[in-house]
């Protein structure tokens, strides 16, 4: 009988040892081992952890891969109507109220999982309070138009950086992964007015864009017309330049020809001049502009030339 009792005790001991000494840590988990209440520096990862039984070691598995979420700000609660200022209704820099709601996503920083374990019940509340403080400061520093028009785009990045800086002082062992603004609008009592203002501002922006587009189109058309005129001017100038060069070359050739003929006949130019002037004076005489008093030509040209005054116009 005594032997059977010892065997049962031994079997129970082995069963207890197997049940309490071995801990399976799943993927995405870290184990916190407390020995006599003191947290050991080793934080086992996924796999089989072998510890000390008999209540000496206590092993707590923490899911470090899971991203946790905390919601802050305005909540739709029918029972809260008329009871003070609801949570998440914040005051802007120009003394207008806005309803804002945000989500903060955080994860455990694996090397500091022991710090998270020591304060895990306080972490959501501390993250929420830090995020609320950041929201209140950011909104209070801007007017209502900037908050409503740009808040959803700018606030997430501000929340991630500022909340991370604030919770670092609490040594919570968490990292702020992301943030989003799920609600940002004026109170229901003035929402219609704000929507009309937003529509008017949108119309202004649309008209401004149309005006800029029209101005750009007209500017391009003016540039094209300017280019066309410059091209025509350059072509005309080139044509005139070529014509002048051709005239100059023709004159040069004629001059060389006259010079050659003059060397052969010194009176050639004089005879040519007299011939040209005779035709000129003949045309002028036909027009009634000149009267020749001496019709005798000498070797030196015309002796006397009379230029009668122009006929008077009838007034």
Task: Over range 39-44, report the average pLDDT.
Answer: 77
Could you report the per-residue pLDDT of 83-120, keeping only the tens digit for each? Answer: 566 788 899 998 888 999 999 999 999 888 888 888 88
Residue-number span of the structural domain to which 282 is assigned: 265-315
Summary mean pLDDT of the chain: 80
Highest mean pLDDT (candidates 2-11, 35-44, 113-122, 172-181):
172-181
Same domain as 175, residue 72: yes
- Which residue stretches of 265-297 are H helix? 268-286
Chain mean position to CA 265? 86
Range 18-24 average pLDDT = 60
What pTM value is reported for the model? 0.56
Total domains, the chain:
4
Q: Same domain, yes or no, for 139 and 237?
A: no
Say yes or no: 259 and 159 in one domain: no
Q: Specify the pLDDT at position 75.
A: 77
- The CATH number that applies at residue 171 is 3.30.479.30
Kindly report, residue by residue over 54-63, the tens digit of the pLDDT. Answer: 666 677 788 8
In a domain, 136, yes or no: yes
At residue 38, the pLDDT reads 76
When mean pLDDT is compared across 53-57, 80-84, 140-144, 247-251, the lowest value belongs to 80-84
Q: Which residue has the tokens 């989500």?
A: 103
Is the pLDDT at 285 greater than 80, yes or no? no
């Amino acid at each position: 009988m005594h032997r059977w009792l010892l065997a049962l005790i031994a079997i129970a001991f082995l069963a207890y040892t197997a049940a309490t000494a071995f801990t399976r840590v799943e993927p995405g988990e870290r184990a916190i081992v407390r020995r006599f209440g003191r947290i050991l520096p080793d934080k086992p990862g996924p796999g089989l952890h072998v510890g000390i039984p008999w209540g000496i070691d206590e092993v707590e598995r923490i899911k470090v891969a899971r991203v946790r979420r905390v919601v802050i700000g305005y909540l739709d609660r029918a029972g809260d109507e008329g009871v003070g200022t609801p949570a998440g209704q914040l005051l802007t820099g120009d003394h207008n109220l806005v309803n804002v709601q945000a989500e903060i996503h955080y994860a455990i920083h694996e090397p500091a999982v022991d710090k998270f374990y020591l304060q895990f019940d306080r972490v959501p509340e501390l993250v929420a309070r830090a995020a609320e403080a950041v929201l209140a400061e950011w909104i209070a520093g801007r007017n209502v138009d900037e908050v409503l028009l740009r808040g959803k785009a700018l606030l997430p990045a501000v929340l991630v950086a500022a909340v991370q800086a604030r919770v670092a002082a609490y040594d919570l062992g968490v990292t702020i992964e992301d943030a989003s603004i799920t609600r940002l609008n004026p109170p229901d009592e003035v929402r219609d007015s704000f929507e009309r203002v937003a529509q008017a501002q949108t119309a202004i922006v649309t008209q401004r864009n149309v005006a800029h587009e029209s101005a750009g189109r007209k500017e391009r058309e003016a540039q094209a017309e300017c280019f066309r005129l410059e091209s025509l001017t350059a072509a005309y100038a080139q044509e005139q330049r070529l014509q002048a060069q051709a005239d100059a070359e023709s004159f040069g050739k004629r001059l060389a020809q006259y010079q050659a003929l003059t060397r052969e006949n010194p009176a050639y130019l004089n005879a040519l001049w007299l011939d040209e002037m005779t035709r000129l004076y003949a045309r002028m005489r036909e027009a009634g502009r000149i009267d020749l008093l001496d019709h005798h030509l000498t070797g030196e040209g015309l002796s006397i030339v009379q230029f009668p005054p122009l006929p008077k116009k009838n007034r």
